[in-house]
Structure 1
Amino acid sequence: MLHIDRLQDLAESYGTLQRGKGMVTGVIALSLGILCFLGVLAFHFPQYLTTPELRKSYNVDAIRYVMLAAMVIAGGLALVNILFNRTRWLSSFAFLLVVLSAVLGGHKVPVHPDFPSGTPYIGLDWFILDLLGSALLFIFIEKLFAHRKDQPVFRAEWQTDLHHFIVNHMIVGFVLLATNLLVHRFFGWAANDGLRGWVQGLPFWAGLLLIVLVADLVQYWTHRAYHEVPLLWRLHAVHHSVKSMDWLAGSRQHILELLITRTLVLAPIYVLGFSKEVIDAYIVIVGFQAVFNHCNVSVRLGPLRYLVVTPNFHHWHHSQDEEALDKNYAAHYAFLDHLFGTAVKSSRMWPERYGVLGDYVPNGFLRQLKFPFVWKG
């Protein structure tokens, strides 16, 4: 019971982890242990816990090797800490999860693909892959090119953003289904075979530049509406309430905003009929930029910053500083803000403070979920 209390205290805390006492390796082991256990569950119940779009492209053997490596690393780190009496309470939980994952079959769980299509599901596999990949890549980048060098990985309010990350990824199936239905219901009439044929006939590079431009034009005006229409700002204020910028900050987004924005951005992509290869490449770009532009990294790209959105550009959008309010709306092409007169003009290279001016959005996932409906501002 005491160990559970200590684990709960750790989950509720923030700040730099103590080095040399097994805290860093213990947290790594526990995180990998949790992901391994969830991965085993996804292997056992793929019809309910995996995303249909991802199932088609999986290399199951490669995933098994990744899971085996994660179990070995997590178990090894935990065992070393236990043997050397370093954070035994933390490492014991990690080792227990690895053992439980192994007892349940580990990386050898047989996967039976013969289940009915259309089964309701939650995207546990997408959550695992995205969290593992994003954490490994972007934390590494943040350590190499940190803007605020004293900001720890577990900064204040990281728990809230992780909860947003989990929920928004777990219900990816619902979001995709709802978005698809809304796009076809309200925008299907606009599809034109001639226009679609022209778009699909474009070279790959031209189609990719065009799809990013089309998506960003829609995103720009949608984003601007979130700031200028009070009813929409109630939703968007949740995203702006983050006070520390890093790879996890972009996950703080109200589910209704996520649904509205994805529907509006995907509508012209559907209407114009871009090829699957172009859409897949766009998904990679938007996925990378959505995380990277919130990262705690000092990247400006010289003159290219007037063309492409960088972390520096987007950090200004999240600032409370007077010259940054309601500016820098673009997600991909920075020149759109310069074109429409909404680019930040400042003599300073970086903003000072992040968050909503007045700091009236509460912390905590559930409080933020209901905030748009209870705020009396």
Structure 2
Amino acid sequence: MEKYIDIIKNSYSGYWNYLKNEIFFQNHWDNYFYGLIIISLLVWGLEILFPWRKNQSIFRKDFWLDTFYMFFNFFLLNLIILIALSNTAAEFLNDILSSVGLSLQSLQIFDVDNLPNWLGLFVFFIVSDFVQWNTHRLLHRVPFLWNFHKVHHSVKEMGFAAHLRYHWMEPVVYKSLLYLPIAIIGNYDAKDVAIVYFFTITIGHLNHANLGWDYGLFKYIVNNPKMHIWHHAKALPKHVRFGVNYGLTLSIWDYIFKTNYIPHNGKDIELGFSGDETFPKDFIKQELYPILSKNKDFD
């Protein structure tokens, strides 16, 4: 037990020092703090220059709430919960495997570090995106998880910052289900992984932006605003009532597994979910919602 307490303490102090360095000292290209700000400003600029819904305000409904979510979830949530939880869970898993004579290294299919740099990054990205696509489906189909995911679907007007409006429990689920698949293919250098993260953040921001783009033929590979808006549609036919277009970065999984759905131009469709009229409007109440409410959507 003392070992786990030390891991938690070191996780907090280590991430706090990392975050301070990101904000005040480090000027290298893979700075996540300023990378997020630059990507956000660029995509917001595209929204202003090429608005799809021209009657939507630049400072749309819940703009500042989503901006707070963006920084809280991308940085402060790691400090409060995720880093300590992730490091503790990883050590706990290692201890369990050791008790039966196994290790994460023994489970590795191959090590991406042994591949050419571009190929290793590509494998890391494809495996990560596919696992997250499946996890996203679970968030819609499991009532307990859907109650957390409602926070993201409470967005009523799409804009870049809506990308990172989500309940703190979501990354716990994503990271838990992603841990073993990534461990099986081996660790990858953090600076190289930053390339993947910046790419996925950019695509995620664009997917939620007030833009009417689908990228032409690339729409069958990369998720896009015209496709993702249907994921946020309030009304869907009964045969797809659990959701559609689950892709985070890539759309190809939806086309392969027949969960793609773009019946017509979704420019002016209503967003949200059934019963969202009574959903909390502020951060604290939205975070407490899954604990204080009962999910009736799957009755």
TM-score between both structures, scaled by the size of structure 2: 0.78
Confirm whether residue 303 of structure 1 aligns to residue 210 of structure 2: no
The 1:62–1:214 alpha-carbon spacing in structure 2 relative to 1, beyond 3 Å, is closer
1:268, 1:373 → 2: CA distance?
30
Query: Does the residue aligned with 1:254 lie in a helix, a strand or coil?
Result: coil
Q: Counterpart of 2:172?
A: 259
Flag the structure with more relative contact order, 1 or 2, with Cα contacts below 8 A and sequence separation at least 6: 2
Confirm whether residue 161 of structure 1 aligns to residue 66 of structure 2: yes
1:367 to 285, 293, 296: 285
1:251, 1:58 → 2: CA distance?
19
1:144, 1:216 → 2: CA distance?
30
Identity, % of aligned pairs?
Answer: 27
- Structure 2: which 5+ runs fail to align? 1-12, 98-102
For residue 302 of structure 1, report the CA deviation from its aligned partner. Answer: 0.7
1:267, 1:177 → 2: CA distance?
18
Q: Counterpart of 2:55?
A: 150
1:208, 1:364 → 2: CA distance?
38
Contact 1:227 1:236 in 2 (8 A): yes
Contact 1:187 1:267 in 2 (8 A): no
For residue 305 of structure 1, report the CA deviation from its aligned partner. Answer: 0.3
Matches within 5 A, 1:232-311: 232-276=145-189, 277-311=191-225
Tell me whether 240-249 or 311-320 shows the greater mean CA deviation.
Answer: 311-320
Structure (1 or 2) with the larger CA radius of gyration = 1
1:332 to 249, 261, 280: 249
Q: Deviations over 1:225-284 (max 9, x none)?
A: 111111111100111111111111122111111222133224422332142154232222
Matches within 5 A, 1:53-72: 55=21, 60=25
1:62, 1:356 → 2: CA distance?
42
Contact 2:158 2:209 in 1 (8 A): yes
Match of 1:341, as an amino acid? K
Contact 2:245 2:254 in 1 (8 A): yes
TM-score between both structures, scaled by the size of structure 1: 0.63
For residue 135 of structure 1, report the CA deviation from its aligned partner. Answer: 4.0
User: How many residue pairs align between the two structures?
Assistant: 268
1:209, 1:155 → 2: CA distance?
36
Q: Counterpart of 1:214?
A: 127
The 1:164–1:58 alpha-carbon spacing in structure 2 relative to 1, beyond 3 Å, is closer
2:36, 2:118 → 1: CA distance?
29
Q: Deviations over 1:86-136 (max 9, x none)?
A: xxxxxxxxxxxxxxxxxxxxxxxxxxxxxxxxxxxxxxx966x36642442
Q: Counterpart of 2:18?
A: 52
Confirm whether residue 170 of structure 1 aligns to residue 76 of structure 2: yes
Match of 2:87, as an amino acid? N
Q: Counterpart of 1:181?
A: 88
Contact 1:196 1:274 in 2 (8 A): no
The 1:279–1:54 alpha-carbon spacing in structure 2 relative to 1, beyond 3 Å, is farther
Match of 1:230, as an amino acid? P
2:270 to 341, 344, 353: 353
Q: Counterpart of 1:319?
A: 233
- Structure 1: which 5+ runs fail to align? 1-46, 64-124
2:272, 2:118 → 1: CA distance?
37
Query: Does the residue aligned with 1:171 lie in a helix, a strand or coil?
Result: helix
1:51, 1:297 → 2: CA distance?
37
Q: Counterpart of 2:100?
A: none
The 1:130–1:368 alpha-carbon spacing in structure 2 relative to 1, beyond 3 Å, is farther
1:309, 1:335 → 2: CA distance?
8
Tell me whether 196-205 or 215-224 shows the greater mean CA deviation.
Answer: 196-205
